[in-house]
Amino acid sequence: MPTPEPTPGRLNPWRYIGGGLVIVTGAIVLIPFFALSNYSFPAADDFCYAQNFIAENSFLALWRHSLNWSGRYFSYLLQGSYPNWFGLFESYRFIAPVLLVLTYAAALALVSQLLGSRSSWFLKGVLALAFLLAYLLGMPEPASGFYWMAGAFTYQVGNIILLVVLAMCVKSLSGESDTGRYSFAFFGLAIVAGAGTNETTMLVIFGIMHIATLLAWILRKRLTPWAWLLSLTYICFLIVYFSPGNESRVAAFPNAHDISYALARCLYFGSVLMIQWLEQPLFWVYLALLFIASVFALPAHSLRIPLWLILVMLAGTLALPFVALFPAWWSMGGPAPERTINVIYFLFLLSASCAVILSAMKVGSYPAFGKDGMGGRVSFVVLCICFSFLCLTNPTYTRARADWNEFADGYRETWELRLEMLGAQNPEQDFALPALPRNLPETIHFVDIKPDPKDWRNECFANFVGARSVRTVIE
Amino acid sequence: MSAKVVNAIIFIVTLAAVIITLFLRPAERINLQVFWQTSDLDMTEKATVFRSVTLDDTEQTLEVNLQGRGVLRLRIDLAHSGEEFTEIRISNARIEGMQEGKPASVEIPPIWYCFNCSLVIEGNTLRIRSDLEDPYILSERIPYMNVDTLRFEVSGVR
């Protein structure tokens, strides 16, 4: 007797129970991260960029930045404009929540495109949430990823746009009819914005657009829009890569552009990162959940995913920590900062997720597979329980909760005292501001001004608030 | 691949996830912020995260030996630490001192996940030994100087 064809995406109570558990866990885990955004304050580059955009015309400031430091035009434009549009201190607390929501929305867009329109929206929503949690709880430093404006606009915005670009690629390549011109216009804008956020994202978009164009040719899609998009990608690449400021930046790092050194360090630190990430139980359980849930969510089509494609994707995932470190070591001659490692972890997680979804497609493409079998349902619920348990016991979440409950109030009180002192007196003088408490909310704190008024961070802060100088003192 | 095989894959994946959840513990990073001055040998700042680690600063010694290609040796004795680390990481390190008769300071690049560092806990003594023989990291960054102050943060991954 033939196995009845399951209705794609149809949910039964088991799936609601498992998915509901992940949603409740997500809400619990995200609460402290959202709450902590109320306690975040600007730091370091935030003041410099805001001041640059106050001091002169936005485009002139952008041009000067390109000449003197780097060609990251889009992130710099955001960093300089946001404080002037909304107020640096007044609107700082909105950055992290908006980026968390946008990350979720972009992940949902990609998952939706990968699993197809016939799949259950409920499961797609659960998987996008699981991706967000796996990233947030596995990333090396949430502070510079979401809470520090300069880091968030340079790196997390790049991550979000990358998800959008990938979703657009899948949509354009998998659709039966050619994508409309408005979609391609949006696609083009996403490429321009994403390539201008940071070098790592720019290189990834550069690679993706080549692969996508090749696939468009293989799949006999209309090539004209792809040629335009690829040309646009090249233009953005050239703007960023040949920005005159890159030379100045290289000069600031003594070991920059030493090929053998950069390769040796990438090999060593890539292995360090790989071991660290593969040791995280949340990473593995997330992938297991993604696999089973994708099998459930996929429609019962007969799309044949070749094994070599899955193997290439897996190999690419394993190579990522090594390859993605190279731009930092090459350009700076030193270890990449944590905010860059955040991006590399994001790419690693994204690549692993895509490999798992492809594997699920291969398994799910066999019509004999009883997707609605009891074993599958139990597996899904068990994996949801494991995932939720690991999220709720994760050190990053525990730390965020402790920061919120114990350290955030004192941190904010000190900052408010500083601002009160700056506002109450004639600004054009030397200020001795109270140092931050010893126990800092590490989830949100990136860096502070120093006791030395000549430190560049202090000078930027002083310029921004109109003081002659600022320094910290321990009271 | 039959339905039985696919069901077996699902079973194995689920079983592996359960085993991972039960037996694989996430790495826990413990930060110890240390401020050390040669002048008074006082550990004036300490902070702990993730776990409540009480560090009594009754005794601490530190050796800084910036020889030639930049060898940095740290030995920090922290009483009652009671912690065992498998990896350490030294970050936000800054050396302040005198160089050619003038005040000078150098920021030490982050020493990532210092697998080659030896870490020994003997009784109430936590010893961190970091032999940084990588000429690329330190040789050009840390010139010879008479060191007055060394500040750094140590992260131990358990």
Please give the ipTM for the structure prediction: 0.77
**Nearest chain B residue to A442, by CA:** B49
CB contact (8 A) between residue B109 and residue A261 = no
Across the interface, do B7 and A376 touch by the CB < 8 Å criterion?
Answer: yes
Query: Distances in Å between the alpha carbon of A468 and those of A17, A47, A418, A426, A472?
Result: 60, 15, 15, 10, 14
Sequence-separated contacts (24+) of A51-59 with Cβ below 8 Å: A51/A460, A51/A463, A51/A464, A52/A80, A53/A80, A53/A81, A53/A83, A53/A84, A54/A84, A54/A464
Which of A389, A398, A438 is closest, CB to CB, to B21?
A: A389
Nearest of A474, A467, A435, A471 to residue A455 by alpha carbon: A471
Please provide the average confidence, as pLDDT, over all residues in chain A: 84
A14-61 pLDDT, tens digit each: 778 888 999 999 999 999 999 999 999 998 888 888 887 776 777 777
- Residue A86 reports pLDDT greater than 90: no
User: Chains A and B: how many Cβ contacts under 8 Å?
Assistant: 103
**Rounded to 10 degrees, what is the CA torsion of A7, A13, A16, A17?**
-150
Of A258, A366, A399, the CB nearest to B1: A366
B112 pLDDT band (50/70/90 cuts)?
very low
Q: Kindly report the backbone phi and psi dihedral angles of residue A304, in degrees, each rounded to the nearest multiple of 5, phi listed first.
A: -100, 115
Residue A281: CB atoms within 10 Å: 23
Q: What percent of chain A has pLDDT over 70?
A: 89
Higher per-residue pLDDT: B2 or A223: A223
The pTM of the full predicted model, rounded to 2 decimals, is 0.80
Q: How confident is the model at residue B86 (pLDDT cuts 50, 70, 90)?
A: very low
Helix, strand, coil % (nearest 5) of chain A?
A: 75, 0, 25
B81: DSSP letter: -
Which residues of A, range 401-440, sit inside 8 Å of B by Cβ? 402, 438-440
Cβ contact A376–B50 (<8 Å) = no
Look at residue A236 and tell me whether its pLDDT is greater than 70.
yes
Query: pLDDT tens digit string along A323-362?
Result: 888 887 777 766 677 788 899 999 999 999 999 988 888 8
pLDDT for B77 equals 36
| pLDDT one-digit tens code per residue, A182-205 | 788 888 999 999 998 988 899 999
Alpha-helix residue ranges (DSSP H) falling in A87-180: 88-91, 95-115, 121-138, 142, 149-151, 157-174
> Best of B5, B11, B14 to disrupt the A interface by mutation (most A CBs within 10 Å)?
B14
Report the pLDDT averaged over residues B115-140.
36
> Hey, of B2, B5, B9, B10, which one would you mutate to test binding to chain A, going by the most A CBs within 10 A of its CB?
B10
**Confidence check: pLDDT of A93 > 70:** yes
Residue A216 clears pLDDT 60, i.e. is over it:
yes
Residue B157: helix, strand or coil by DSSP? strand
Position A192, amino acid: V
CB B138 within 8 A of CB B109: yes
Give percent of chain A with pLDDT exceeding 90.
34
**A5 versus A329: which is more confidently predicted?**
A329
Q: What is the pLDDT of residues A422-468, one digit of tens each?
A: 887 776 788 888 888 767 788 898 878 877 788 788 888 888 888 88
Greater model confidence, A162 or B57: A162
Integer Cα distance of A5 and A12 in angstroms: 15
Residue A251 pLDDT exceeds 70: no
Encoded tokens for B2: 């039959």
Cα angle, residue A415 at apex, residues A410 and A419 outer, rounded to 5°: 145
Mean pLDDT of A215-239: 88
